[in-house]
Amino acid sequence: MPLTIRSATGTHHFTVQVAATSEQQEQGLMFYKSLGPDQGMIFPYDPPQDISFWMKNTLIPLDIIFIRADGTIARITKAKALDETPLPAGEPVGAVLEIRGGRAAELGIKPGDKVDWGTKSPRSAERG
**69-104 tens-digit pLDDT:** 999 999 999 999 999 999 999 999 999 999 999 999
Question: With helix as H, strand as E and coil as C, how does the chain read?
Answer: CEEEEEECCEEEEEEEEECCCHHHHHHCCCCCCCCCCCEEEEEEEEEEECCEECCCCCCCCEEEEEECCCCEEEEEEEECCCCCCCEECCCCEEEEEEEECCHHHHHCCCCCCEEEECCCCCCCCCCC
Model confidence pTM above 0.95: no
Q: Is domain 2-117 given the CATH code 2.60.120.1140 in the classification? A: yes
pLDDT, one tens digit per residue, over 22-40 is 999 999 999 999 999 999 9
